[in-house]
Amino acid sequence: MVQYIMSSKLLLSCINLLRSSILCTMLYLSFFGNFLLCHMIFGLWFYFMMHHEHPLIKPP
């Protein structure tokens, strides 16, 4: 009986660890995805500004 309780506690702790690691991975992925999205948008905007005629920025 005691062994069963200990194994169930171990299983619960493993499930909690797995859940927290999945949550951390999702947070990291969302942060990284937002960073990549912002980087892409800024890169496209910069490319557009440099390669098209603009009164403020003259392309070389």
pLDDT in tens, the chain (60 residues): 677 878 889 899 989 999 989 988 888 888 888 888 888 899 988 888 777 665 565 555
Q: Could you tell me the two tokens for 21?
A: 């690691």
Smallest Cα–Cα separation from 47: which of 31, 29, 59? 59
Domain assignment present for residue 58? The answer is no
Domain assignment present for residue 2? The answer is yes
Domain limits for position 44: 1-53
Length of the chain equals 60
Number of domains in the chain: 1
Domain assignment present for residue 60? The answer is no
The amino acid occupying position 25 is T
Q: How far is CA 9 from CA 15, 19, 25, 41, 49, in A?
A: 10, 15, 24, 48, 59
Domain assignment present for residue 59? The answer is no
